Amino acid sequence: MITADDVDVLLFDVLGTVVDEAGSMRDELAATLDQAGVERGQADALTAAWIRRFATLMESVLDGGPWRTTDELNAEALGYVLRDGPRLPQAAVRQLALDQLALSPQRTLMVAAHPWDLRAAAAHGLRTAYIERAGEGEPLPADRFDLTVPDLAALATALTADANLPA
């Protein structure tokens, strides 16, 4: 078990972890489709397909494909779904944070709801905390994270349990 005594810094993946990007997309899409007279279930199905396509596109970037912004990936994913269906590269961002803040990867905890972010962070020696947010990606059977929690409040509880924090 990892505690606050084991880490000096937490790095957060913001979109999808701190900000419920998928939920926001689903709500905005549902509102737009509602105005057009389309039932809510279709918005949920379309959003799920959008998220799956986005994850596929993100994996291609992380596997060395051409860099594209989140906006470009979202636009491509939505275009694909509407047509065919119902960021700096992450390594550079992590390395910049480690270098600029003089952090030890072994004492830095990457917090994300995206398993692909955590796999990449672990490959660079960072500790990992997976936030279980529906729609943000499912871990593979081989994935092993230092912590797996349902939300950020549970992360805080897990890190401070039995920790020697100043009074």
Q: What's the CA gap between 98 and 92, in Å, rounded?
A: 10
Do the domain assignments include residue 165? no
Terminal-residue alpha carbon distance, the chain? 22
Do the domain assignments include residue 166? no
Q: What's the CA gap between 119 and 139, in Å, rounded?
A: 9
Question: Which amino acid makes up residue 143?
Answer: D
Tell me which DSSP letter residue 15 carries. B
Q: Residue 137 has what pLDDT? A: 81
CATH number where 14 lies: 3.40.50.1000
3-state helix, strand, coil in the chain (%, to 5): 55, 10, 35
Residues in the chain: 167
Residues 95 and 122 grouped into a single domain: yes
Residues 112 and 80 grouped into a single domain: no
Q: Residue 128 has what pLDDT? A: 94
Q: What's the CA gap between 111 and 40, in Å, rounded?
A: 32
Name every residue whose Cβ is closer than 8 Å to that of residue 15 and which is 6 or more positions away in sequence: 21, 70
Do the domain assignments include residue 135? yes
Q: Residue 131 has what pLDDT? A: 94
Do the domain assignments include residue 71? yes
pLDDT (mean) for 101-112: 87
Do the domain assignments include residue 113? yes
Out of 50, 84, 118, a domain closes at 84
Residues 115 and 137 grouped into a single domain: yes
Do the domain assignments include residue 167? no
* CA neighbor of 29 nearest in space, from 71, 70, 82, 68: 82
* CA neighbor of 116 nearest in space, from 48, 50, 63, 49: 63
Statement: residue 100 has pLDDT above 70: no
pLDDT digits (tens, 9 = 90+) for 31-78: 776 766 666 677 777 778 888 888 899 899 989 989 888 888 888 887
Residues 57 and 45 grouped into a single domain: yes
What range does the domain containing 137 cover?
4-18+89-160
Residues 103 and 144 grouped into a single domain: yes
The tally of domains found in the chain comes to 2
Do the domain assignments include residue 76? yes
